[in-house]
């Protein structure tokens, strides 16, 4: 059983559509991070959410941290082919390191 679950596992949409992906846990996290990994590259940090209920926006991407700090969502408005990639959520684990979810693989078709 993974500490962080992500859904959906795969998502294929047309350019211009909106989408939401989810990161869930039964545990409380002090913060959660979202990374995007493009093919052939390592993950790159998009955002860190630290306060329950917090909403952060990064251009067309909106990130929300659940009130209970057990879940987070990423909403993309008007998706573009450049948004294609693997979206990973991660949270601090035992202070020194992080635990990662399995990721949502997004494909945006032109």
Strand partners, 91: 99
Q: Does 12 bind another protein (CB under 8 A)?
A: no
Q: How far from 96 is each of 46, 64, 92, 102, 110, CA to CA, in Å?
A: 20, 24, 7, 20, 41
Given 31, 64, 73, 84, the residue binding another protein (CB under 8 A) = 31
Q: Single out the segment in contact with another protein by CB under 8 A; choices: 14-22, 29-37, 53-61, 71-79.
A: 29-37
* Mask for 39-78, x = binds another protein (CB under 8 A): -xxxxxx--x-x----------------------------
- CB closer to another protein out of 45 and 78: 45
d(CA 79, CA 98): 28
3-state SS class at 81:
helix
- Rule CB under 8 A: say whether 1 interacts with another protein: no
According to the binding rule CB under 8 A, does residue 30 interact with another protein?
yes
Angle ∠(20,46,79) on CA atoms, nearest 5? 40
Angle (CA) 72 108 88, round 5°: 30
Q: Which residues bind another protein (CB under 8 A)?
A: 2, 4, 9, 30-31, 33, 40-45, 48, 50, 88, 90, 92, 95-103
């Amino acid at each position: 059983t993974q500490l962080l679950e992500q859904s959906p596992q795969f998502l294929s949409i047309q350019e211009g559509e909106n989408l939401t992906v989810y990161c869930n846990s039964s545990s409380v996290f002090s913060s959660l991070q979202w990374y995007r990994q493009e093919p052939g590259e390592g993950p790159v940090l998009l955002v860190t959410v630290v306060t329950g209920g917090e909403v952060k926006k990064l251009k067309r991407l909106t990130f929300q941290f659940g009130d209970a700090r057990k879940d987070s969502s990423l909403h993309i408005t008007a998706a573009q082919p450049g948004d294609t990639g693997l979206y990973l959520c991660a949270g601090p684990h035992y202070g020194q390191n992080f635990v990662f979810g399995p990721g949502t693989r997004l494909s945006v078709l032109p």
